[in-house]
């Protein structure tokens, strides 16, 4: 394969973390939705009969949390907010309306992706803690019932928010052509990199001059 036009954006280990997490997340999210919206009860059958789904849901949830923590370590330094993120926010309407042209000084991830990153990481942490608390087979008996009620509410709110964020994430992947392929193969085209992550391209992919110092973001 001629790779001269392609640049490596996501390493194999990170892609494996991402897609194994996605597989577990789908099963956890669908079974969770089956209990939150009982009229969509059939969604839970992705994990077998309802009793079995109830058994598996928390274990798969822990797998999602663990994989996301691995991704946190791998990705956090690209997701710290920097001054140039303000430029992206100022042009968010142009971004959404597909008006290219200006250089928005976007690093490896744009400000929207950083919000997604921190949203996912905080929501999964809340889901992890509240999920352990309401885990009837092991931990729920350790907590007073009023605390369990709050944990159940928090688990539902965080689960809903996370699923909605992920729907947004999936949509962005579909909208921005080349990103899903990029997350599977790891490679994106140079033109794609320049268009969507200009500062990342200029500083890290094809630097034209030596970097003054190591910069994150």
Contact 20, 1 (CB under 8 A): no
* One residue of 27, 47, 53, 71 binding another protein per CB under 8 A: 53
171 binds another protein (CB under 8 A): yes
Residue 133 is a binding residue for another protein (CB under 8 A): no
**What are the angstrom distances between the C-alpha of 30 and each of 2, 8, 27, 50, 52?**
40, 32, 5, 12, 14
Task: Report the C-alpha gap between 136 and 122 in whole angstroms.
Answer: 23
**Terminal C-alpha separation, the chain:** 30
Of 169, 196, 197, 216, the active-site residue reads 169
DSSP-derived 3-state class of residue 9: coil
- Rule CB under 8 A: is residue 103 a binding residue for another protein? no
Tell me: does residue 160 bind another protein (CB under 8 A).
yes
Integer Cα distance of 20 and 23 in angstroms: 5
Minimum distance from CB of 115 to another protein (Å)? 15
- Supply the residues annotated as catalytic: 169
Residues that bind another protein (CB under 8 A): 2, 4-5, 34-39, 41, 50-51, 53-55, 96-98, 134, 136-137, 140, 145-146, 148-150, 152-153, 156-157, 160, 164, 167-168, 171, 174-178, 189-192, 195-196, 206-208
């Amino acid at each position: 394969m001629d790779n001269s036009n392609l640049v490596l954006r996501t390493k194999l280990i990170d892609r494996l973390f991402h897609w194994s997490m996605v597989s577990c997340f789908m099963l956890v999210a669908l079974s969770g939705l089956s209990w939150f919206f009982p009229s969509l009860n059939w969604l839970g059958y992705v994990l077998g009969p309802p009793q079995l789904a109830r058994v598996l849901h928390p274990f798969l949830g822990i797998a999602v949390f663990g994989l996301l923590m691995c991704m946190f370590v791998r990705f956090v330094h690209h997701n710290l907010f920097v001054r140039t993120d303000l430029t992206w926010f100022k042009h968010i309407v142009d971004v959404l309306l597909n008006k290219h042209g200006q250089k928005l000084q976007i690093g490896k991830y744009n400000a929207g992706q950083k919000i997604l990153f921190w949203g996912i990481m905080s929501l999964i942490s809340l889901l992890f803690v509240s999920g352990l608390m309401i885990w009837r087979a092991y931990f729920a008996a350790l907590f007073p019932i009023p605390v369990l009620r709050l944990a159940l509410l928090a688990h539902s709110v965080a689960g809903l928010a996370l699923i909605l964020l992920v729907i947004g994430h999936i949509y962005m992947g579909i909208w921005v052509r080349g990103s899903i392929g990029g997350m599977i193969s790891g490679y994106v085209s140079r033109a794609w990199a320049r268009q969507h992550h200009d500062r990342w391209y200029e500083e890290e992919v094809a630097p034209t001059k030596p970097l003054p110092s190591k910069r994150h973001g």
